[in-house]
Amino acid sequence: MVHGVRPYEENHGQTDRVYNECLAEVSKAIESGEDGVFDVLEHAVDRFLAIPRREEARPVVGIVGEIYIRSNRFSNDDLVRRVEEFGGEAWLAPIAEWINYVNYMGKKKSTQKKRLSSLLKLVITDHIQKKDEHRIEEIFSKYLRYGREPQIRHVIHEASPYIHESFEGEAILSVGKSIDFIQKGASGIINAMPFTCMPGTISSAVMKLLQNQYGVPILNVAYDGQGLTNISTRLEAFMHQVKEHSRKPQES
């Protein structure tokens, strides 16, 4: 919800202040051991909705890639905020995607090897995790431009023409999620990864096929900690392409 509100805020910094205050309240609710997290989150939604926003059309950029790099602001030079500074709105693939993927593959392997006790444990774990995830998601989903997260089998299915399911890891998730983002209205995709990362290298190659297939600008960014001047220049040029692409349907 931060990513959906902050690019349009009238008072600079207000969204971050509300986010940090709500995050502290969520932490206290968890520490108390009581089931008060959901009440805190519902109150957080009201606080975000109360933030004054500008009426402004911004293109959406989906961010995929290696789980840690795409999620850690320090490691990716605050990539989401950079997209916002260049005039876009970011959709960031969630960390829960990896958790759901691990559960999915674990259940599949346990079924194949007939490990019933392991399968039962994974089924119960997955059920409880998804129950909590959906309960939290229900509070926010109708206020988010992206909507609900797809099931992991859907993400894998979308990637299957490019990467077979037997090739495990983040590459298939990056490709499948990119397609999901594009289908839901993203005008560009950024694939963030560590330098020399093998899954990232594979997904980067496949991204060229997606760009040809869907006609959406795609930027592969490898972070090596050696400076960001070149990345900043590439990102600025990429965002110009994204804006041009987002205008095409309106012009036709």
3-state SS of 26-39?
HHHHHHHCCCCHHH
Q: 232 and 214, same structural domain? A: yes
Instruction: Give dist(CA 136, CA 206) in Å, integer.
Output: 33
What pLDDT is recorded for position 252? Answer: 40
What pLDDT is recorded for position 223? Answer: 87
Q: 87 and 14, same structural domain? A: no
> Considering its fold, how many domains does the chain have in total?
2
What's at 211, amino acid-wise? Q
Q: 191 and 167, same structural domain? A: yes
Residue 102 near residue 126 (C-beta atoms within 8 A) = no
Q: Is residue 7 part of a domain?
A: yes
Q: Is residue 101 part of a domain?
A: no
Q: 216 and 199, same structural domain? A: yes
Q: 156 and 46, same structural domain? A: no
Domain boundary among 9, 34, 56: 56
CATH number at residue 159: 3.40.50.11900
Q: What is the DSSP string of 186-242?
A: -SEEEEEEETT-HHHHHHHHHHHHHHHHH---EEEEEE-SS-SHHHHHHHHHHHHHH
Q: Is residue 108 part of a domain?
A: no
What pLDDT is recorded for position 26? Answer: 93
Q: Is residue 222 part of a domain?
A: yes
What pLDDT is recorded for position 221? Answer: 92
Q: 62 and 49, same structural domain? A: no
> Of all helices (H) and strands (E), which one includes residue 61?
strand 60-65
Q: Is residue 115 part of a domain?
A: no
Q: 48 and 170, same structural domain? A: no
Residue 238 near residue 218 (C-beta atoms within 8 A) = no
Digit-by-digit pLDDT tens for the chain (252 residues) are 999 999 999 999 999 999 999 999 999 999 987 778 999 999 999 999 999 999 999 999 999 999 999 999 998 989 999 999 999 999 999 999 999 999 999 999 888 888 888 899 999 998 999 998 899 999 998 899 888 899 999 999 999 999 998 888 889 999 999 999 999 999 999 999 988 888 888 898 999 999 999 999 999 999 886 656 678 888 999 999 999 998 875 544
What pLDDT is recorded for position 227? Answer: 59
N residues, the chain: 252
Q: 64 and 81, same structural domain? A: yes
What pLDDT is recorded for position 251? Answer: 45
Helices (H), the chain: 2-5, 14-32, 37-49, 67-71, 79-85, 96-112, 116-140, 152-159, 170-183, 198-214, 229-251
Q: 52 and 2, same structural domain? A: yes
Q: Is residue 9 part of a domain?
A: yes
What's at 136, amino acid-wise? I
Q: 155 and 39, same structural domain? A: no
Q: 81 and 40, same structural domain? A: no
Q: Is residue 42 part of a domain?
A: yes
Q: 21 and 77, same structural domain? A: no
Q: Is residue 87 part of a domain?
A: yes
Structural domain including 158 reads: 58-94+149-251
